Structure 1
Amino acid sequence: MTVNNYIFDIDGTLIDTFAMYMPALVETLEDHGYHFPDPAKVERDLYGIAAVDALKKLGVPAEEIDTINEEWINRSYQHFDQVRVLPGIPATISQLAAKAGTKLAIVTSKTRAEYQRYFQDQYPFAENFAVVVTADDTTAHKPSPAPILKALDRLGADPTTAVYVGDMSTDLAAAHAAGIRFAGAEYGASDPEKIAAADLRLAQPRDLLTINQEGAVQL
């Protein structure tokens, strides 16, 4: 069946925010007495996960999460100038959106406020996304299928016509749990092997444009 509903992650898939978020996380945790023998591994493992979930995964007590999370986000956005749009994304998104009958959506671990201020208001290509599901819209986050299922519902999409595009193993797990196919954004992934089980492996964003073409790699 033809794919005409494309749902995208943001961090590591549309824009590169690693240098903004992850050093700030380690620095903030160190300020609160948390130290790690391999900070780089912590950064790689938690990139793209909802902030609160990342802190829970690290074992931060519930009573400290709100404070640390707020400090982390504030410190991160002091380095927003380090964020980069991944090469080829604006053109690919524009071309997909221009296809008749095609709908684009976002499923992100960012909060609604973060999405609006630091994505929607920053990048003109954001106007192509008809549906946006943020961390505020569901109580469960990736790898739970809940955010993707909400996006499918808002799109009015048949799951067999949809694909989720992401760069993390949590993205892959969420897509398959939601019953849709997964396109692995290897061009932006910090560890492409973690998404090697993707239904389609994307070496570059424009690979998405060939999904429905005869003779192309099919989902």
Structure 2
Amino acid sequence: MRGASWPDVQAVLFDLDGTLIDSAPELGAAADRMRVARGMSSLPLSAYRPMAGAGARGMLGVAFGLRPEDAQFAELREEFFKTYEALMFDGSVAFSGVDALIARLVDRRMPWGVVTNKSSRFTEPLTASMPLFETAAAIVSGDTTPHAKPHPAPLLEAARRIGVDPARCVYVGDDQRDIVAGKAAGMRTVAVAYGYLGADADVTQWQADAVISLPLDLLQWLPLA
């Protein structure tokens, strides 16, 4: 069933991890490797997955109960980055339906791009290794602009690179900060009810303009031509 489509939309921007690709196995494996190296018991992927969208902060929180303000956090974060860097090509894949969604956007000649808080240190080699991103008109990382999401700066930079008015862009993400950033940038926002949502997440409370359960559901909100 079609929703009330947005006929003025000219571009679609996506979050990366948890929205387009499933990198939870590699993120979890990196944190768990650090945990086991310290003589602690291994945790299952199911323990890490709900927090995968929070990157190092989430993984170190699960593995060690650490918070960013803790004294050890900065040191362990860099160790996590190095460990993940060695694992990130081991199996990150697009969520089911994402390849078909991107193909449909390309068929409609609708430009699309990525705005992620992931550092370019990881974003650039990872997206370069996946054919999915060959048609992306812009890829903006967490360190591309002076601010990361939920600040709107990276989203506005992506719109600038694509050459589309932010008001005619849609931003799609799996975290509340994605919706906050999209609204601050003046874009329409779509929350995905898949990905890395934790048990306590309620996407209906994020005040997104739309919620989708499958990647291809996004098409109902976009112009047909």
TM-score normalised by the chain length of structure 1: 0.78
Confirm whether residue 94 of structure 1 aligns to residue 113 of structure 2: no
Could you say which residue in structure 2 is the equivalent of 1:14? 20
- What SS class does the counterpart of residue 126 from structure 2 fall into? helix
1:110 matched to which residue of 2? 118
Is there any run of 5+ residues in structure 1 with no aligned partner, and where?
33-39, 215-219
Q: How far, CA to CA, are the matches of 1:111 and 1:6 in structure 2?
A: 21
Please say if 1:209 is aligned against 2:219. yes
1:146, distance to aligned residue in structure 2 (A): 1.6
Amino acid at match of 1:168: D
Identity among equivalent pairs (%): 30
Trace 1:33-112 onto structure 2 (pairs within 5 A). Answer: 44-45=50-51, 47-49=52-54, 51=56, 58-61=68-71, 65=74, 67-76=75-84, 77-78=86-87, 80-100=89-109, 102-112=110-120
Counterpart CA distance in 2 for 1:19 and 1:42 is: 8
Q: SS where residue 48 of structure 1 aligns? A: helix
- Structure-2 residue corresponding to 1:35: none
Seen in structure 2, the aligned counterparts of structure 1 residues 79 and 158 have a Cα distance that, compared at 3 Å, is closer
Return 12-21 or 186-195, whichever deviates more.
Answer: 186-195
Match among 182, 193, 197 for residue 190 of structure 1: 197
2:132 to 112, 120, 125: 125
Per the TM alignment, residue 41 of structure 1 is displaced from its structure 2 partner at its CA by: 7.6
Distance 2:172 2:159 in 1: 14
Structure-1 separation of matches of 2:55 and 2:146: 11
Structure 2, unmatched stretches of 5+, are 1-6, 39-45, 61-65
| 2-structure distance, mates of 1:64, 1:203 | 34
User: In structure 2, the residue corresponding to 1:81 is in which secondary structure?
Assistant: coil
Paired with 2:128 and 2:214, the residues of 1 have a C-alpha distance of: 23
Question: In the aligned structure 1, how far is the partner of 2:223 from the partner of 2:163?
Answer: 24
Q: For 1:140-179, list aligned pairs within 5 A.
A: 140-179=147-186
SS class of match (1:59): coil
Asked if structure 1 preserves the Cα contact closer than 8 Å seen for 2:14 and 2:114, the reply is: yes
**Cα gap change, 1:158 to 1:41, in 2 (>3 Å):** same
List structure 1 segments (4+ residues) > 6 angstroms apart after TM superposition.
29-32, 40-43, 52-56
Is the 1:9–1:166 contact (alpha carbons within 8 Å) kept by the matching residues of 2? yes
CA 1:141 to 1:20, structure 2 compared with 1: closer, same or farther past 3 Å? same
- 1:72-103 per-residue CA deviation (whole Å, 9 max, x = no partner) reads 02222436434332001111111102213x21
d(CA) in 2 for partners of 1:148 and 1:200?
Answer: 18
**Structure 2 residue matching 1:154: 3-state secondary structure:** helix
RMSD: 3.1
Compared CA separation, residues 141 and 54, structure 1 to 2 (3 A): farther
Q: Secondary structure at the match of 1:105?
A: strand
